[in-house]
Amino acid sequence: MKFLVTAGPTHEHLDPVRFLANASSGKMGYAIAREARRRGHTVSLISGPTHLRPPRGIRLTKVISAMSMRQAIKKEIRRSHCLVMAAAVADYRPAKSSSAKIRKGKGPRSIALVPNPDILGEIGRSRWPGVLVGFSLETETGEARARDKLRQKRLDFIVQNAPATIGSDSITATILFSDGRREILKQVSKAVAARRIVRLAEDARKERQQTR
């Protein structure tokens, strides 16, 4: 299979030194890319800003913003069989960005924001024929919200987790499937979680081929 994996945060710049971002280390996405490569798949990794060393044998594309990640995904997805959207893409970006540092006392007291595109939702609604895997980090009513995303974005499955996993080497998560199934990963390493996610994506691809 050809895996396309996204990882890390996006930085939405207000000026050259200030930005809005989600708290994401990129560890989960990098672990998935590493596991997919270990299992013999071709892997493209699109990564927002992180301090992680990329796995060997993969194609790495570095991006900064949500819009640049969207552009990179559109370029790669045509030759991919599976997209695992593990990146924490910022929901909003500043309506205006300054090319020079905004000096103290001269900047705005409020920042006008505009929504970033829902990249995974766009791909799901386009009925792209590959396997689609999403992540949903929730603080409350998590499973219900994750199931809404699963349905609205037309995903094969979604991994719901909590803020405690950010930056950690382990994860507790619930995997929700489009057919109503659920599977719990309780305090496992991200390497172990990546192994399960990659194998579930492989299974989803096989099932799709068998029903054609």
How confident is the model over 157-169, as pLDDT tens digits?
999 998 888 888 9
Q: How far apart are CA 84 and CA 119, in angstroms?
A: 12
**Burial of 51 per CB tally in 10 Å (0-12, 13-18, 19+):** exposed
pLDDT band for position 19 (cuts 50, 70, 90): very high
Residue 22 a catalytic site member:
yes
Q: Are 192 and 199 in contact (CB under 8 A)?
A: no
Decide: 136 and 142 in contact? Cβ < 8 Å. Answer: yes
Residues 174 and 183 sit within 8 Å (Cβ to Cβ): yes
Phi-psi map region of 22: left, alpha, beta (phi>0 left; psi -120 to 50 alpha): beta
**Domains, the chain:** 2-90+108-210 (3.40.50.10300)
Measured between alpha carbons, how far is residue 133 from residues 12, 18, 200 in Å? 24, 31, 10
Each residue's pLDDT tens digit, 23-73: 889 999 999 999 999 999 999 999 999 999 989 999 999 999 999 999 999
Tokens 């219900």 belong to: 144
Q: What is the DSSP annotation of 117-183? A: P-HHHHHHHTT-SSEEEEEEE-SSSHHHHHHHHHHHTT-SEEEEE-GGGTT-SEEEEEEEETTS-EE
Catalytic residue among 22, 42, 68, 178: 22
Q: How far apart are CA 85 and CA 115, in angstroms?
A: 18
- pLDDT at position 106: 66
